[in-house]
Amino acid sequence: MSDKRGRPRDQAVRAAILTATGELLTERGYERLSVEAIAGRAGVGKQTIYRWWRSKAAVVCEAVAAGQLPLPSAPPPDTGELGADLRSWMREQFEWLAAPGHTALVRALAAASSDDAGDTERLHELITGPSREHLIGRLRAGAAAGRVRADADLEAAADALLGAVLYRVLARAPIPPGHPEALVDVVVAGLRSG
Amino acid sequence: MSDKRGRPRDQAVRAAILTATGELLTERGYERLSVEAIAGRAGVGKQTIYRWWRSKAAVVCEAVAAGQLPLPSAPPPDTGELGADLRSWMREQFEWLAAPGHTALVRALAAASSDDAGDTERLHELITGPSREHLIGRLRAGAAAGRVRADADLEAAADALLGAVLYRVLARAPIPPGHPEALVDVVVAGLRSG
Amino acid sequence: MSDKRGRPRDQAVRAAILTATGELLTERGYERLSVEAIAGRAGVGKQTIYRWWRSKAAVVCEAVAAGQLPLPSAPPPDTGELGADLRSWMREQFEWLAAPGHTALVRALAAASSDDAGDTERLHELITGPSREHLIGRLRAGAAAGRVRADADLEAAADALLGAVLYRVLARAPIPPGHPEALVDVVVAGLRSG
Amino acid sequence: MSDKRGRPRDQAVRAAILTATGELLTERGYERLSVEAIAGRAGVGKQTIYRWWRSKAAVVCEAVAAGQLPLPSAPPPDTGELGADLRSWMREQFEWLAAPGHTALVRALAAASSDDAGDTERLHELITGPSREHLIGRLRAGAAAGRVRADADLEAAADALLGAVLYRVLARAPIPPGHPEALVDVVVAGLRSG
DNA sequence: TGCTAACCGAGACGGTACGTCCTGTCTTCCC
DNA sequence: GGGAAGACAGGACGTACCGTCTCGGTTAGCA
């Protein structure tokens, strides 16, 4: 089926490239990340990178997919209290962002998005996709438990929560105390009563 | 008192630079925008740009401020119906984004944000600031009219609405029909009842 | 004695490599000749070339030796008339050079010479060696016939004739009519009388 | 007439590039000479080289023209004795070649010639041109003095002498004692009697 | 007939250099 | 002294080859 002629791709090399990419992205940001620097740190020829990825954005994309970059943890388990669950999840999101380098990383990935349409979708799928699905799942469970009205648009609610986080990060606006909870409160109340 | 010796700054030159910046930004995006291209299209020396602006991001920043870039219109007037007003405003936001070049522009500005901390704040202030203030003003009027409960966090609500728009744009996700209204419905309902 | 186990060298492959080398050398010149292009045209792995030759120059060297490259014909037979014989031989040399690709080939081989000392000698031996030996042989016959004075330096005379051709080719200077004959006349007269 | 707008070309930079080129060419030879190395040693951006020269060969060409490379001295003055004059001139040529680096330089320039037609002519004009003209001038003086027969082809004689030198260098053949004198003897005798 | 060695195609690999593009600074002349 | 033009050092881009190195698959002689 597949063409297996020639020397096979060296997986250790692929890993080294993705690791180097993750490190440099966190250290310097997307703008100041160069393919040459990745090659240098990974101990790899530049051509080896271009052989497998079309662009800087594509490498970053796969580095994220490979878990080379720190992403916020999965949402906390369902304790039955929708509001409490979402508040603690939202707090975690903002706490993760407070760590040095993490806001830079999000901004870097946002910048990477502006390059190519194909990579963008894949990148957002990888980064916000899991969070989003867990979030919607939790909301759906709340709906099943009667905590959320049946006709509520759960996707819109998820957009509102994730978007609010993204907005604060990109605007470099400070996070006032109580902000995560206030966000959750507005959305959860809106889901409860139409 | 002030030293006015020497030739004063040529305002026509400044305008040409900002116009060229706006055009190129919309055409090519922030990544592929170069100072040399701006200078070339504006018929201006490169040094003239660097004399007045510290960086590419700063020029983009001022181009936005000078209205060289198309931004969504101001929110519609207060008709007394908070939900209806916000729905139509939100529809306008998404309609503006649907026009060709506008999503590219927002992505370009998001990318510009990742460069420099100082410019970022100014840029977001210019782009989302007016929308945000109008939005919060409208929400505050709703609170005064008793449509919004007194202790609601209007900033969080504004973040949720603006962030949701930003999120869809950056993720290049399609806008399903009814999405703008659903967003407004969740947030407004959340503001009404705590 | 020698270990002849294992698959023997494929002579068809060797021939394909030398043929491809000859073609590419004539088409593109030595500078723009690449081992990868040779391998590609010969339908051969790069390693197969490096297994048998140390360098690009070595392959070119053997391609010449194997007759893959067109070289000027052997000198005409001895008719007894030294001057006439050399004039017609010299005319042949310049006529061969006039054909398209042949001057490029000589320049390519001169360039190849600058690479490696070992290859250079072998290459010159192959290319000018036979011509040179025939030439000196013809001059020696002339000396035996009393047409050339006994103490004449036949090597110097051969250098002068071959070098003059080489000089014109490398300098890309046009060949004026009567030039080959004039060259022969000077040298032959010089050999006749000291 | 000429466009004098903009910053004028920095002559110190031009000199630094040509000096660096001459040094590196002598040290490493033409094949191992890189534009990046020239830029590095000259303390210059690569673009500054490509702004003024189309190719490596063109830079080498101008380095020669600018006297950055050691070339054999001009021919000795006319003492009236044609044979003696040419013998001492020819000895000088071969002595110059015997110095380390000089043969490499000639081979390098021969290799540079194979790249581009335009540069080749200019390069040969610069390198062998002056020698050739002095040589022909001296021969013409000999003809005027009756030492050379009137109908002798002086160009052919010059080709023979210069070519013989070039031939020995490119072939990396050793110079036997008495070779320069033997060369001159053949050619001068040939010019004397037809 | 199966073992072992060497060949062969393909092509990945670490590198070097290419020639282009752009950045931010500078220098000159013109107004 | 502002401004157009454009040279400059520096540095990253993406491409082309280099010479080396595995792969799977052949093709011989020897056992």
Q: What is the DSSP annotation of B95-156?
A: HHHHSTTHHHHHHHHHHHHTT-HHHHHHHHHHHTHHHHHHHHHHHHHHHHTTSS-TT--HHH
Question: What is the structure's pLDDT at A75?
Answer: 66
Indicate if CB(C19) is under 7 A from strand E.
no
Distance, angstroms, CA C50 to C1' E8?
12
Contact residues on chain D for C118, CB-CB shorter than 8 A: none
Higher pLDDT, A120 or D180: D180
Question: What is the structure's pLDDT at B194?
Answer: 62
CA closest to D125 among chain C residues: C171
Of D113, D160, D173, the CB nearest to C160: D160
Range scoring the smallest mean pLDDT among B163-172, C172-181, D107-116: D107-116
Q: How far is CA D68 from the centre of its chain?
A: 12
Cα-trace Rg, chain B: 20
Could B189 and A194 be called an inter-chain contact, meaning their C-beta atoms sit closer than 8 Å? yes
Question: What is the structure's pLDDT at D45?
Answer: 97
Task: Inform me whether the pLDDT recorded for C2 exceeds 60.
Answer: no
Residues of each domain in chain A carrying CATH 1.10.10.60: 11-65
**Mean per-residue pLDDT of chain B:** 81
Choose, out of C170, C181, C184, C193, the residue to mutate when testing the contact with D (most D CBs < 10 Å). Answer: C170
CA closest to B184 among chain A residues: A156
- CB proximity list for A55: less than 8 A, separation 6 or greater: A115, A116, A119
Q: A residues 34-63 near B, CB within 8 Å?
A: none
Residue C48's pLDDT band, with cuts at 50, 70 and 90, is very high
Indicate if CB(B56) is under 7 A from strand E.
yes
Helix (H) or strand (E) segment spanning residue B182: helix B179-192
Question: What is the structure's pLDDT at B7?
Answer: 62
Distance in Å, alpha carbon of D166 to nearest chain C alpha carbon:
7
Closest CA to A113 of A131, A130, A103, A125: A125
Q: How far is CA D145 from the centre of its chain?
A: 29
Distance in Å, alpha carbon of D4 to nearest chain C alpha carbon:
36
CA–CA separation, A42 vs A44, rounded Å?
5
**Mean per-residue pLDDT of chain D:** 84
**Sign of torsion, CA A122 A126 A131 A134?**
positive
Task: Inform me whether the pLDDT recorded for C20 exceeds 70.
Answer: yes
Could D124 and C166 be called an inter-chain contact, meaning their C-beta atoms sit closer than 8 Å? no
Higher pLDDT, C170 or C112: C170
- Length of chain A measured in residues: 194
Higher pLDDT, D157 or B146: D157
Question: What is the structure's pLDDT at A52?
Answer: 96
* Contact positions of strand E to protein Cβ (< 7 A): 4-31
CA–CA separation, A80 vs A88, rounded Å?
13
Task: Inform me whether the pLDDT recorded for C85 exceeds 50.
Answer: yes
DSSP symbol at C145? T
Task: Inform me whether the pLDDT recorded for D161 exceeds 80.
Answer: yes
Topology of the domain comprising A11-65 = Arc Repressor Mutant, subunit A (1.10.10)
- Length of chain C measured in residues: 194
Contact residues on chain A for B159, CB-CB shorter than 8 A: 163-164, 167-168, 183
Q: How far is CA D49 from the centre of its chain?
A: 23
Could C110 and D111 be called an inter-chain contact, meaning their C-beta atoms sit closer than 8 Å? yes
Residue C194's pLDDT band, with cuts at 50, 70 and 90, is low
Could D120 and C161 be called an inter-chain contact, meaning their C-beta atoms sit closer than 8 Å? no
Could A172 and B128 be called an inter-chain contact, meaning their C-beta atoms sit closer than 8 Å? no
Closest CA to A9 of A72, A43, A51: A51
Which residue is associated with the tokens 């080289």?
D49
Residue B93's pLDDT band, with cuts at 50, 70 and 90, is confident
Task: Inform me whether the pLDDT recorded for D31 exceeds 60.
Answer: yes
CA–CA separation, A82 vs A141, rounded Å?
9
- CB proximity list for A108: less than 8 A, separation 6 or greater: A25, A29, A30, A31, A33, A60, B114
Task: Inform me whether the pLDDT recorded for B2 exceeds 60.
Answer: no
Residue D9's pLDDT band, with cuts at 50, 70 and 90, is very high
Indicate if CB(A10) is under 7 A from strand E.
yes
Of D104, D156, D176, the CB nearest to C179: D156
The predicted-structure confidence for D57-84, as pLDDT tens digits, reads as follows 889 888 988 877 767 766 677 787 888 8
Distance in Å, alpha carbon of B170 to nearest chain A alpha carbon:
7
Indicate if CB(A172) is under 7 A from strand E.
no
Higher pLDDT, A7 or B123: A7
Q: Are B93 and B165 in contact (CB under 8 A)?
A: yes
Residues of each domain in chain A carrying CATH 1.10.357.10: 82-191
Question: What is the structure's pLDDT at D144?
Answer: 82
CA–CA separation, B138 vs B155, rounded Å?
12
Nucleotide nearest C11, CA–C1', reads E7
Ranked by mean pLDDT, which of A15-24, A133-142, B145-154, C155-164 comes out on top?
A15-24
A113 touches chain B (CB under 8 A): yes
Task: Inform me whether the pLDDT recorded for C71 exceeds 80.
Answer: no
Nucleotide nearest B33, CA–C1', reads E22
Please state, in angstroms and as integers, the Cα–Cα distance from residue B125 to each residue in A114, A163, A171, B113, C40, following that order: 21, 17, 8, 11, 59
Please state, in angstroms and as integers, the Cα–Cα distance from residue C166 to each residue in A41, A131, C34, C62, C161, following that order: 50, 75, 25, 21, 9
Residue C34's CB is within 10 A of a number of other CB atoms, namely 12
Q: Are C127 and C62 in contact (CB under 8 A)?
A: no
Interior angle at CA D114, CA D112 and CA D117, nearest 5: 100
Residue A76's CB is within 10 A of a number of other CB atoms, namely 16
Amino acid in the structure at residue A155: E
Q: To the nearest whole percent, how much of chain C has pLDDT over 70?
A: 91
Question: What is the structure's pLDDT at B1?
Answer: 43
The predicted-structure confidence for C98-117, as pLDDT tens digits, reads as follows 876 777 777 777 777 666 66
The predicted-structure confidence for B24-83, as pLDDT tens digits, reads as follows 988 887 878 999 999 999 999 999 999 998 888 888 888 887 876 666 666 667 787 888
Give the mean model confidence (pLDDT) for residues A8-33.
Answer: 92
Contact residues on chain D for C111, CB-CB shorter than 8 A: 110-111, 114
Q: Are D187 and D161 in contact (CB under 8 A)?
A: yes
The predicted-structure confidence for D90-135, as pLDDT tens digits, reads as follows 888 888 887 767 777 777 777 766 666 677 777 777 777 778 888 8
Please state, in angstroms and as integers, the Cα–Cα distance from residue A96 to each residue in A70, A89, A90, A165, B170, following that order: 9, 11, 10, 11, 21
Indicate if CB(D172) is under 7 A from strand E.
no
Distance, angstroms, CA A47 to C1' F13?
12
Residue C52's pLDDT band, with cuts at 50, 70 and 90, is very high
> With b meaning 16 or more CB within 10 Å and e meaning fewer, what string describes D28-60?
ebbeebebebbbeebebeeebbeeebebbbbbb
Considering the segment(s) B82-191 as one domain, its CATH architecture is Orthogonal Bundle (1.10)
By CB neighbour count within 10 A (0-12 exposed, 13-18 middle, 19+ buried), where does A6 fall? exposed
B162 touches chain A (CB under 8 A): yes
Please state, in angstroms and as integers, the Cα–Cα distance from residue B10 to each residue in B129, C69, D161, following that order: 29, 69, 69
Higher pLDDT, D114 or C149: C149
Question: What is the structure's pLDDT at B44?
Answer: 94
CA–CA separation, D74 vs D45, rounded Å?
36
Task: Inform me whether the pLDDT recorded for A156 exceeds 60.
Answer: yes
Indicate if CB(C44) is under 7 A from strand E.
yes
The predicted-structure confidence for A83-115, as pLDDT tens digits, reads as follows 888 888 888 888 888 776 777 777 777 777 666
Which residue is associated with the tokens 């602006």?
B53
Could D187 and C183 be called an inter-chain contact, meaning their C-beta atoms sit closer than 8 Å? no
Choose, out of D34, D161, D185, D186, the residue to mutate when testing the contact with C (most C CBs < 10 Å). Answer: D186
Q: Are D78 and D176 in contact (CB under 8 A)?
A: no
Could B189 and A189 be called an inter-chain contact, meaning their C-beta atoms sit closer than 8 Å? yes
Residue A2's pLDDT band, with cuts at 50, 70 and 90, is low
The predicted-structure confidence for B3-22, as pLDDT tens digits, reads as follows 455 566 688 899 999 999 99
Return the percent helix, strand and coil in chain A, to nearest 5.
Answer: 65, 0, 35
CA–CA separation, C124 vs D171, rounded Å?
6
Q: To the nearest whole percent, how much of chain D has pLDDT over 90?
A: 23
Which residue is associated with the tokens 């001296």?
D138
Closest CA to C116 of D43, B137, D31, B82: D31
A76 touches chain B (CB under 8 A): no
- CB proximity list for C28: less than 8 A, separation 6 or greater: C37
Task: Inform me whether the pLDDT recorded for C94 exceeds 70.
Answer: yes
Give the mean model confidence (pLDDT) for residues B86-112.
Answer: 79
Pinpoint the alpha helices (H) of chain C: 11-28, 35-42, 46-52, 56-65, 82-98, 102-113, 117-127, 129-144, 154-170, 179-192
